[in-house]
Each structure stands twice: as structure tokens, then as C-alpha cells.
Amino acid sequence: MTVQADTFHTETVVLLHSLGTDHGLWAAQVPALEKHFQVLTPDSPGHGGRPGQGAINLDTWVDDIDALIAPLEQPVHLVGLSMGGVQAMAYSARYPHRVRSLVLANTFAAIDPNAAENKIKSIHEAIDAQGMDRYAEQYLLDTLTTEIDPQVRTRLRRAISGVTAEDYLRASEATFRADLVARLTAITAPTLVMIGDGDKKTPLPLSETLVAQIPDARLAIVPGAGHLSNIDAPDAFNDLLLGFIAARRTTVVSS
């Protein structure tokens, strides 16, 4: 977890990572954000070396996130990418008063149940056949759309391969079987829905559903990016993220 705070940093941004990755996913965002905010980058259960919690579902995720946010005693700017976006939506629907603004990147409220089961089955088969290290490498080959810094790529691969097969499968099942469509109207925070223009894992119509169903939401396209849009195009992602959050802060601080 990354924390940067001083007497001027009175608002908090919480960044929730994608399936298999960890807090390191946000390495390009934290330095830009922590100039003006306290930044928290929690690892989801079973990720980043954190022990798994056995059964995982939307409610256990929300409880876990609330253990971090509730003690802050102020609303946060909540950001989630892919799995983290599913978690962020579930949290914002249950605790709307604890979310000042919401950013959902490359994510979905629900996917077709048959497609979800096929996805889970294919992940299970790939991990059984390849093991987590080879699976992590193949995932990055299939997901990244740009040539990124080799050190960043290695860090991502190690994060994914470091998740146990059992924890990865539990998290994938909770992610792809999620159905949050009926809860979207409970989200009251102004919301930015971001999607990479080359994202083939969460196609644009899934983001358009979020914009249509969340009461105060708008869409932003991240050019030159795929599913991990904050990794593929960090500068474009940061411009959209910081512009949105900064316009919705309630305090003014010096840089």
C-alpha cells in the first residue's frame, strides 16, 4: 500500500487493481496523484502476497474495502480497473455516502452468463495446463497493446504469477459472475467511465451500459490503449483521471 500524506493532503484516492495484478499496477499514477492527495493502493485478498480469504464474492470484497475506507471518516475518490472496477461499483452502491467521485476503467457491471462460464472454464484450463508463470506471460501477450518498459512488464508478470491458482480462480469466478446492473442506480457519486480504444477484453458496449445506468456518469476514451489502459497509455490515462478527480475535490491545496 502506498500512502503519501501531509497536513495539506486532506482528501484520499483509493486505487483498486485488476485481476492477478497488485498495487504495482498503479506505479505510473501514484506519483501524479500524491502531489495533491493521500493515495491508498490496497492489494485485494490473495494478491500482492496477501493471504486469500477462502470464499470470495462481492460482499466479502465490499467488507474488505470498507475496513480501509470507513476509518478515514470522509468520502474518498474511488478508482477501479477491471476487477477493481467491479469492486468499486459494488462498494459505491452499498456505501454511496463514502464515495466522493468514482472512476471505472475497462470494466463491466455484468457479462452474458454463458460467456462468463466459458471465460472461467478457459482460465481454469489454461492455468491447469501452463501453471501460473506461463499463464501470466500469455496473459500479458494477449492483453498489452503497446511496448512498455521491460521492468514494468516484469513486475506485472511477477505479480500475476505470484497469485496462487486457487486464489486466482476464486477471484476470476467472483469477477465474471458478478451482476451489478440492478445496483448501478444506487451509485450517487459523479462517475467517469474510461475505456481503452483498443480494449478487446471489455468492449465499448459494456462501458456504454455503465454510462447509461449510473445516474451521473460520462464516458472517456483512452487513445492508444487496450485493457490495461493505465499501463498502455499512462500519460493519457493520467490526464483524464487527474482532470476528473481534481474538478471534484472539495479542498484546494498548493502543489
pLDDT at residue number 250? 78
With 70 as the cut, is the pLDDT of residue 255 above it?
no
pLDDT for 10-67, tens place per residue? 899 999 999 999 999 999 999 999 999 999 999 999 999 999 988 899 999 999 999 9
Segment holding 216, helix H or strand E: none
pLDDT for 179-205, tens place per residue? 999 999 999 999 999 999 999 999 999
The pTM (predicted TM-score) of the whole model is: 0.94
Q: Among residues of the chain, what percentage have pLDDT more than 90? A: 91
Q: How far apart are CA 69 and CA 73, in angstroms?
A: 8
pLDDT for 193-237, tens place per residue? 999 999 999 999 999 999 999 999 999 999 999 999 999 999 999
Using CB atoms within 10 Å of the CB of residue 6, give its burial: 0 to 12 exposed, 13 to 18 middle, 19+ buried. exposed
pLDDT at residue number 9? 61
Estimate to the nearest angstrom the gap between the alpha carbon of 240 and the chain centroid: 15
Kindly give the residue spans of alpha helices, DSSP state H, lying in the chain: 30-33, 58-69, 83-94, 113-143, 150-161, 165-176, 204-213, 229-232, 234-246
